[in-house]
């Protein structure tokens, strides 16, 4: 039971590290280019704590992701294309930096690489339960294996986000390059995110069914 609790804590920590690094990359560039940032939140859902300054900093109950909420008004839309691309790519760059910091010190260790290979070399789904089981296996091999997995996961998150999928950073970057209005594209992005949430729910259900 103790190992399960530790693994859940590690899983939450990995998800928070990857998403917070990603969103903080966006946040830094938004502030550099003077775009108002409404909120930077650690977690989603019920508000636990909030500190208000130039940006509202929030801590919310469901701690598996972070997000940054910024103004899509004139302060952003009137930026040059290259500045928008810098803002949009900053999250991906944040993920790549985290990946390098985690992977470089650990990947040359043969025992760590072998541990990850063993952990992955069993049939699992792609939902949250399978992810937790994978974390439980990896934590059995110690801190270095967990750090290496964090780096790999952050690298994959960066790669996925650069894909030109509506709602993802890559989708926003493509519309910016094509000079499509943000106000015209935003409803498409929001609809895509809703579809993506439905897909996640279906993946979770399939994950449970496959592991029964």
- Report yes or no: 64 and 132 within 8 Å, Cβ to Cβ: no
Integer Cα distance of 137 and 11 in angstroms: 12
Per-residue pLDDT of the chain (212 residues; tens, 9 = 90+): 777 888 889 999 999 999 999 999 999 999 999 999 999 999 988 999 999 988 999 999 988 899 999 988 888 999 999 999 999 999 999 999 999 999 988 877 878 888 788 777 666 666 777 888 888 888 888 898 899 999 999 999 999 999 999 989 999 999 999 999 888 898 988 888 888 888 888 887 877 777 66
Q: Which residue in the block uniquely carries the two structure tokens 């810098």?
A: 86
Q: Which residue in the block uniquely carries the two structure tokens 């989708």?
A: 171
Residue 174 DSSP symbol? H
Q: Model's pTM, two decimal places?
A: 0.89
Integer Cα distance of 90 and 26 in angstroms: 5
**Residue ranges of domains in the chain:** 2-211
Integer Cα distance of 207 and 129 in angstroms: 7
């Amino acid at each position: 039971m103790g190992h399960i609790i530790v693994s859940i804590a590690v899983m939450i920590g990995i998800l928070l590290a990857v998403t917070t690094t990603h969103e903080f990359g966006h946040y830094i560039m938004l502030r550099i280019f003077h775009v108002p940032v409404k909120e930077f939140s650690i977690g989603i859902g019920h508000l636990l704590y909030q500190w208000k300054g130039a940006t509202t900093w929030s801590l919310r109950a469901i701690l598996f992701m972070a997000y940054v909420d910024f103004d899509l008004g004139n302060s952003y839309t009137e930026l040059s294309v290259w500045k928008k691309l810098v803002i949009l790519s900053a999250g991906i760059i944040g993920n790549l930096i985290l990946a390098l910091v985690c992977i470089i010190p650990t990947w040359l260790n043969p025992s760590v690489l072998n541990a990850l290979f063993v952990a992955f070399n069993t049939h699992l789904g792609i939902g949250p339960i399978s992810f937790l089981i994978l974390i439980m296996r990896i934590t059995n091999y110690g801190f270095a294996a967990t750090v290496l997995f964090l780096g790999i996961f952050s690298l994959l998150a960066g790669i996925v986000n650069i894909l030109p999928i509506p709602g993802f950073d890559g989708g926003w970057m493509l519309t910016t390059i094509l000079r499509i209005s943000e106000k015209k594209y935003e409803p498409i992005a929001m609809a895509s995110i809703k579809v993506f949430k439905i897909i996640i729910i279906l993946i979770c259900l399939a994950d449970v069914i496959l592991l029964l």
